[in-house]
Amino acid sequence: MARDQRDYYYRKAKEEGYRARSAYKLKQINAKFHIIRKGSKVVDLGAAPGGWLQVARELSGGIVVGVDLERIEPVEGAVTIQGDITKDETLEQIAAALGGQADVVISDAAPNLTGIWDVDHARSIDLSRAALRIAKRLLRPGGSFLVKVFQGDMFDDYIEEVKREFTSVHFYTPPASRKESAEIYVIGKKLLSAPVRPGEVYEVTIESTGRTGDGIAMIRGFAVIVKNASPGERLKIKIGAVKQRFAFASIVERI
């Protein structure tokens, strides 16, 4: 309590009516990355006590849904759901409250801490992976994702997982994070709806040539641009960068 009373953001939250000092983390993250905009449909996973929910509602002014295993005290203008986000019935409640898909999924949830760093880090990654799985189910194509992660030796692997699902991925520690904290926030922008992901390998036939002279193959109706390839060639390719409407690939082998 003594530390909290000395903490600038703790005092500021009390003065301005926010339920948690973490409200300023979301404000700072959004000021930098602009993931929540006016009218955005937002889902807050692990929303209790509701500090992020308050800010999300302010930023969006639209439909905002908070979900937690614990009861969330009502937030004006937001929908609160008490339920397990890993259960289909909870996801159905969220979708019904949204009236469709979300534009943004956010999560500031943290595991129950043991004080054993390796255990706490692993639990944080497990929780972040669950948030990513749920975000993929709730988000519209092109939607954004924000999640808290504890840094450690599993962090890089998690970042690669997020990169497979979003056009751009960033990580950031806002000024409101305590200096002694190992938390970092991962931001994924523009959820991919493409049938391919970076690193995947396919056998394809080059069907046509693009404006730059590179070959174009189609994978389940999705265009993949292959440098130094010609129409009619049969190739084994490896997917590189994936965009909303097309992807790039390199030649692994000419078949």
142-192 pLDDT, tens per residue? Answer: 999 999 999 889 999 999 999 999 999 999 999 999 888 889 999 999 999
Q: Is 38 a catalytic residue?
A: no
Q: What is the mean pLDDT of residues 38-56?
A: 96
Do 151 and 87 belong to one domain? Answer: yes
DSSP H helices, 2-78, are 2-6, 8-16, 23-33, 51-60
Place of tokens 């019935």: 89
Cβ 20 vs Cβ 33: under 8 Å: no
Do 179 and 53 belong to one domain? Answer: yes
Do 104 and 220 belong to one domain? Answer: no
* Within a domain: 237: yes
Domain boundary among 163, 191, 219: 191
* Within a domain: 196: no
> Which tops the pLDDT comparison, 236 or 113?
236
Strand order of the β-sheet with 234-242 is: 201-205, 234-242, 246-254, 222-226, 215-219, 208-209
The domain spanning residue 206 has which CATH number? 2.40.50.140
Do 126 and 228 belong to one domain? Answer: no
Residue 189's SS3 state is: strand
Domain boundary among 172, 191, 210: 191
Do 60 and 121 belong to one domain? Answer: yes
The domain spanning residue 123 has which CATH number? 3.40.50.150
Structural domain for 233, as ranges: 201-254
Domain boundary among 167, 191, 215: 191
Residue 80's SS3 state is: strand
Do 181 and 225 belong to one domain? Answer: no
**pLDDT of 1:** 44
Structure token digits, residue 109: 């949830």
Over 50: is that where the pLDDT of 85 sits?
yes
- The count of domains in the chain is 2
- For a pLDDT cut of 90, what percent of the chain falls above it? 79
Q: Which of 25, 41, 148, 163 is flagged as catalytic? A: 148
Estimate the share of the chain in helix, then strand, then coil, as percent rounded to the nearest 5: 30, 30, 40
Q: What is the mean pLDDT of residues 104-132?
A: 90
DSSP strand pairing (139-150 vs 166-172): unpaired
